[in-house]
Amino acid sequence: MIRESLSGKRIAITGATGFLGTALVERLLRAVPDCELVLVVRPGRRGAQSRVDRDILKNDAFDKLRTAFADDPVAAGGLEGETFADMCKRRITALAGDVATDGMNLDADGLALLGTCDIAIHSAAAVSFDSALDDAVEVNLLGPHRVAKALSDAAEAHNRPEPAHLVAVSTCYVAGSRRGKAPEQLVNESPFYVDVDWRDEVANARRARLQAESRSRTPECLKNLEKEAYNGLGPAGGPAISERTEQLRKRWVGKQMTAAGRSRASSLGFPDAYAFTKALGERALVETRGNVPVSIVRPSIIESALSEPSPGWIRGFRMAEPVIAAYARGLLKEFPGVPEGVIDVIPCDLVVATILAVAARGPKLDENGVDHPDVTQIASGASNPLEYGQMVDLVRIWFTEHPVYDEKNQPISVPEWSFPGRGRVSRQLGRARKGLDIAEKVLDALPLRGRQAEFGAGLEERKGQLEQASGYVDLYGAYTECEAIYGLDNMYELWNSLDEADRAAFRMDPKLVHWPTYIHTIHLPNMVKAARLKMSPGTRQSSSRNDRLRKQVLDPRRELAVFDLENTLIASNVVASYSWLATRHLDTPDRARFVAKTLREIPTLLALDRADRSDFLRYFYRRFEDAPVDRLAADSAEMLSDLLITKSFPAGIRRVREHRRAGHRTLLITGALELVIEPLRPLFDDIVASEMSITDGTYDGRLTGVPPTGEARYQTLVDYAEAHDINLQESVAYADSSSDLPMLEAVGFPVAVNPETKLASIARKRAWLIEHWDKSKGAPSRVLPIGPLSHGLARTRKILDRSKS
């Protein structure tokens, strides 16, 4: 019945790039060879057809059909000699449209094409449980109404006697947080439905967005966001801080809208904005459908396929996968829920079969031949319940037998949950986050870098994991505590009307699922692959990843390797080099006074450096005023062997030489004085450093330009690349501080070397290469380097010593 009824039909589908929509397209192409599809997709930058080709047809859902066409196109439902791509081109038309906008952005040709369709399946939705309120309203509430309006307008423009039959996909959770039976009835007919005007909710959601945008721009809010940006990036420079501040502002607005959605949904008895807007979307559709025949299909929580297109097939993470993955990695020690309650999940292929059966049946007509909106629910709780406690036990048993391995190649033991309430779990996570906040503040105050800083970055990562776990509790806790039982009377009426051939080809009875088999042999094995969980010890992932990244940075295709100097190539800084040069011509008492004075200044100098690197350098280089140019040149040459080489990182020097051997151009950009690093010039193709002006053979302590640090270092790199026709996306940058973030972000291959805490955290989050380079063993580790006595001063001291004797 299903295949025959849909044969020869032109079927429009929205949401085809999503999980359910992709499965619908695959099943129709494979099981109903004579139908044609019109896929309504947002065009994006590449256009609608490109999105269909890339985002839908390249998915592994079509592997079975691709193989069938390669073996025998006629048996696969195609024409003689036809390829899979040829068949798709013949049967699929891409239509640019957007259900989130009035009119769906359809032009006259698009409306005319829609007018040729016999059936429309509306599966597009904002499925995230933490969607912003207005986004959920535009897609989930107004989307079905807009599709019905477009079908009505298209039928009128195409002179069709009646519009296409609209099958709208909703959710069982429009029933809200009720307990007990939830029958297949329209939401406005439910005794639990709170009667609100959906038009008012649309207006209020849009107004809430404007109000949140306005509040985000108040001086107090912007000041807090700028402070947060600086705390996260450190002295990365004005442009980087400003860009981050704007990102945080937009994120703040998003959080406000998400919170508004949760609050409004909760006040009306819904678990979240998704269920709330879906319920109002049904109401709006039924009220405004006009003469468009409407059927509503409500699935529960859609999960991986039971068998079609292949066992365990899934697109993206659904509701259960993030929680299961976090549990397997040991991140969720507890999770709320009622162990005796039902976790109502349904495999996606059963949902697809139900939708196609409803579409094949057509609109429901009364005895007078008048169509009325009808509801068909597809869920498991009423006929084949999976208790929450049973599911947790099945997951625990599987991950006990197939553990995930941590970075140290140790199996992670999964805990046994005691099923506490959401409040208790949230408080536990909150206390853990506060402890990490305190530890993070203590570490931020310490000058950590390299492997020590990695510990601080690990704390931040752990804090992020706790926030993620807390988000799961907030998002999904209500669903694990839900005790509604969704009626299936209409679904079973439809199932019982099918013949044996249809029941074999379009399986939709939840009783067909054996939960232990489904979870242990179908869902979890495929889920861990999709989540890329480490399921065997083997080589440490971090090591293999670093080796892979090193090969990338040394690939001959790279064009430029740019290096910072201090703490990247040498374990020294401008204070140390100045100390060496300043004490070169001092006698012992003056040296002692110099060291004592400099050590007292270190806290002040550190504070200046953290506040603004450029201002610090200008302030510090004033000390070179009246220094003889010739004498400093001679002293710097000697300092190369006594300080710079002994403080250098051999692995760093080797890396510079490796780049040169690979044919890469090498560039050193440093805020250190050119006179100090001049002896290093043979190591690089070019050097850009700070320069001081000269008057009558002495330095005046004033820089000739902006020191190349922070955003100035980034601009120096950009100008250099333009001058030498270098592609920065094929270039490598090495640096140690978050102040170098603009330069690191400018290249295609950033490398964090001995990073301080903030950069270590950023590099880990962005999966950059992190190098830990050490000094040579036995190298001196003086806190403040002292230059050896100059030859003239040493000779004078010997004469004085002899005269005293």
Question: What residue spans in the chain does CATH classification 3.40.50.1000 cover?
Answer: 548-773
pLDDT digits (tens, 9 = 90+) for 431-469: 666 665 666 565 565 555 556 555 555 666 666 666 666
More confident residue, 388 or 784: 388
Largest Cα separation within the chain, whole Å, is 130
Closest CA to 399 of 510, 525, 237, 507: 525
**What CATH class is the domain 1-196+271-300+344-382+487-502?**
alpha beta
Region 107-113: mean pLDDT is: 90
> What does the pLDDT read at residue 463?
62
More confident residue, 477 or 639: 639
> What does the pLDDT read at residue 804?
38
Region 411-417: mean pLDDT is: 83
- Given a cut of 60, whether residue 721 has pLDDT beyond it is yes
Separation between Cα atoms, residue 553 and residue 558, nearest integer Å: 7
Other CB atoms within 10 A of residue 210 CB = 10
> What does the pLDDT read at residue 349?
95
Phi-psi region of 42 (alpha: psi -120 to 50; beta: other; left: phi over 0): beta
> What does the pLDDT read at residue 362?
92
> What does the pLDDT read at residue 327?
79
Other CB atoms within 10 A of residue 457 CB = 24
> What does the pLDDT read at residue 170?
96
Closest CA to 756 of 733, 735, 774, 742: 735
> What does the pLDDT read at residue 797?
40
Q: Are 690 and 703 in contact (CB under 8 A)?
A: yes
Region 652-658: mean pLDDT is: 95
Closest CA to 38 of 102, 143, 109, 103: 109
Provide the β-strand partners of residue 181.
Answer: 485
More confident residue, 611 or 501: 501
Q: Are 561 and 666 in contact (CB under 8 A)?
A: yes
- Given a cut of 60, whether residue 645 has pLDDT beyond it is yes
User: What percent of the chain is predicted at pLDDT more than 90?
Assistant: 50
> What does the pLDDT read at residue 792?
47
> What does the pLDDT read at residue 799?
32
Model's pTM, two decimal places? 0.76
State which fold the 548-773 domain adopts.
Rossmann fold (3.40.50)
- Given a cut of 80, whether residue 48 has pLDDT beyond it is yes
The winner for highest mean pLDDT among 250-254, 468-472, 619-623 is 250-254
Tokens standing for residue 5: 């009824």
DSSP letters, 480-502, are HT-EEEE--HHHHHHHHTS-HHH
> What does the pLDDT read at residue 178?
77
Closest CA to 258 of 134, 380, 77: 134
More confident residue, 610 or 675: 675
- Given a cut of 60, whether residue 493 has pLDDT beyond it is yes
694 three-state secondary structure: strand
- Given a cut of 50, whether residue 471 has pLDDT beyond it is yes
> What does the pLDDT read at residue 639?
85
Region 491-502: mean pLDDT is: 93
DSSP letters, 134-195, are HHHIIIIIHHHHHHHHHHHHHHHHHT-SSPPEEEEE--GGGG-S-EEEE-S--GGG-TT---
Q: Are 15 and 123 in contact (CB under 8 A)?
A: yes
pLDDT digits (tens, 9 = 90+) for 535-589: 888 655 445 778 899 999 999 999 999 999 988 999 888 888 888 888 878 887 8
Q: How far is CA 758 from the centre of its chain?
A: 19
> What does the pLDDT read at residue 151?
93
Can the peptide bond before residue 363 be classed as cis, meaning omega within 30 degrees of 0? no
Q: Strands 374-378 and 294-299: what pairing?
A: parallel
Provide the β-strand partners of residue 119.
Answer: 11, 165
Lowest mean pLDDT, pick from 238-242, 281-285, 387-391: 238-242
Question: What residue spans in the chain does CATH classification 3.40.50.720 cover?
Answer: 1-196+271-300+344-382+487-502
The average confidence (pLDDT) of the chain is 85
Handedness of CA 584, 587, 592, 598 (dihedral sign): negative
Q: Nearest 5°: CA angle at 456, between 450 and 462?
A: 135
> What does the pLDDT read at residue 650?
93
The helix or strand, by DSSP H or E, that contains position 38, with its residue range, turns out to be strand 36-41
> What does the pLDDT read at residue 453?
54
pLDDT digits (tens, 9 = 90+) for 750-804: 999 999 888 888 888 888 999 999 887 766 666 566 766 655 444 434 433 433 3
What band does 643 get if pLDDT is binned at 50, 70 and 90?
A: confident
pLDDT digits (tens, 9 = 90+) for 311-369: 999 887 666 677 788 778 877 776 666 777 788 999 999 999 999 999 999 998 888 87
